[in-house]
Structure 1
Amino acid sequence: MTDTEDHIREFARVKPTSGTPQMGRFIAALRRLQDITVATDPDPALWDDSAALIEDICARLEQHRAPAGSAPAGRATNLPGNGHPLMPPWQVMAASPDEVTMAGSFTRFHVGGNDAVHGGVIPLFYDWHFGMVVSAAGRPDSRTAYLHVDYRRVTPIDAPLRSRAWIDEVDGRKLFVRATMTDADGNVLSEANGLMIKLLAHQP
């Protein structure tokens, strides 16, 4: 057995799954709630009423907690953002051992100002995309050592975008990755490069 296979055996990998239509509906509603929350200014009483509804939902879902790695959020590859509300609603369009292409858009929830995507959301997206490259390459679980982003243009919301990430170099435990995000006209909005390092068996 190779060192890579040993590592995979000793480190519990997160296994992909499919989200149900009902989960997809819930996540879509939750994303809408995020957008509405940052785009409205209701009367204080409505904040209270809405909070009570959300607190009730939380209490109901709390009864169904699942162990780490068992809950489908973050693993549901058929849902935007893999069914995780932290991730922007993008999905993998093509994947190979060398590169992964994703497509999607950002929404009001991701705005930093003037309908432009917050600068901090872009590195979050690339970090997630680089993780997709690690998985597609069949490499063991890795952590981000560094991630550098060059912002070329303002990234808009509510517009179809694409991002392509690929392996630039492999050096033992080190995987050097690059990526480019473009709009529908092919304009480069940002570029990124990063280093993903394979975890050792004892590392969390």
Structure 2
Amino acid sequence: MSTTQHTDAIEMAKARRRPLPDTPQVRAYIRLIQEVSQFHDALVQASPSEQQLTEVTETLASVRGVLEDTAVAEREQLYGNGQLGGPNQLLMPPITYDALDDDELRAHTVANKYYMGLNDTMHGGVVSVLFDTVMGRMAVGTEGRVCRTAYLTTHYRNITPIGERLDLHVAVEKAEGRKRFITGQLWHGETLCAEAESLFIEVKAGQQ
């Protein structure tokens, strides 16, 4: 029988949304995340020799051991804390939020080759993750709601390029009690790359 104690989603969200303090440790951690992101970019483009691969792998195993020895509980983690899609995560390209109110959100990003699917275009799954992140931020709004994704449907209209500015436009189409129906568009200049519709539902106290 599992003995895992699940934390109330609202309480955990409050803990994870706290802005990271401007400390030497946090600044060093963000530099580490940026270096890992650049490592990902270099990794997917590289074709090292067997000897080079062995050396790099052994180095990574040693570094991993250092990190494993400092593991902490989710509430204490630095990774992913603060703003959704911020600089201290690796799941998606970092997102810059340009405007946000309770009706509309505008943001932009640039993806490196780690997020490529084929032929210098973004993997379709990454497109959906981008939508889930910015739509989730729209569901949070200015009131700090804690919401879960009920559904998200992505429609791919054109290829999404790697290495170029992409703009995200998101809006709340309808709000019904705890429900937020949200739509979004992903643009490369004047080209619509993808669009999505979603439903986010605000969680109740006690829900995981």
TM-score, normalization by structure 1: 0.86
Number of the residue aligned with 1:202: 206
Aligned 1:24-173 pairs, distance under 5 A: 24-77=30-83, 81-173=86-178
Q: Is the 8 A contact 2:158 2:192 kept in 1?
A: yes
Letter in 1 for 2:118: G
1:16 equivalent among 8, 15, 18: 18
Deviation at 1:11, TM superposition (A): 3.8
2:197 is the alignment partner of 1:193: yes
Measured at CA, do residues 118 and 11 of structure 1 come closer, stay the same or move farther in structure 2, by a change above 3 Å? same
Q: Distance in 2 between matches of 1:89 and 1:69?
A: 22
Q: Distance in 2 between matches of 1:10 and 1:110?
A: 31
Number of the residue aligned with 1:177: 182
Q: Distance in 1 between matches of 2:141 and 2:59?
A: 40
Q: Distance in 2 between matches of 1:197 and 1:146?
A: 10
Deviation at 1:118, TM superposition (A): 0.9
Measured at CA, do residues 40 and 99 of structure 1 come closer, stay the same or move farther in structure 2, by a change above 3 Å? same
1:38-95 deviation digits (Å, cap 9, x = unpaired): 1111112211211111112111122322221321211243x96341111222222222
Q: Distance in 2 between matches of 1:80 and 1:54?
A: 25
After TM superposition, the structure 1 stretch with the greater mean CA deviation from structure 2, 155-164 or 82-91, is 82-91
Q: Distance in 2 between matches of 1:57 and 1:118?
A: 29
Deviation at 1:110, TM superposition (A): 0.9
TM-score, normalization by structure 2: 0.85
- Structure 1: stretches of 5+ with no match in the other structure: 1-7
Identity of aligned residues (%): 24
1:41 partner SS: coil
Structure 1 runs (4+) greater than 6 angstroms displaced: none
Higher relative contact order (CA 8 A, sep 6+): 2
- Structure 2: stretches of 5+ with no match in the other structure: 1-7
Letter in 1 for 2:193: L
1:85-138 deviation digits (Å, cap 9, x = unpaired): 112222222221222221111111111111111111111111111111122242
After TM superposition, the structure 1 stretch with the greater mean CA deviation from structure 2, 135-144 or 42-51, is 135-144
The two structures, once aligned, show a CA RMSD in angstroms of 2.1
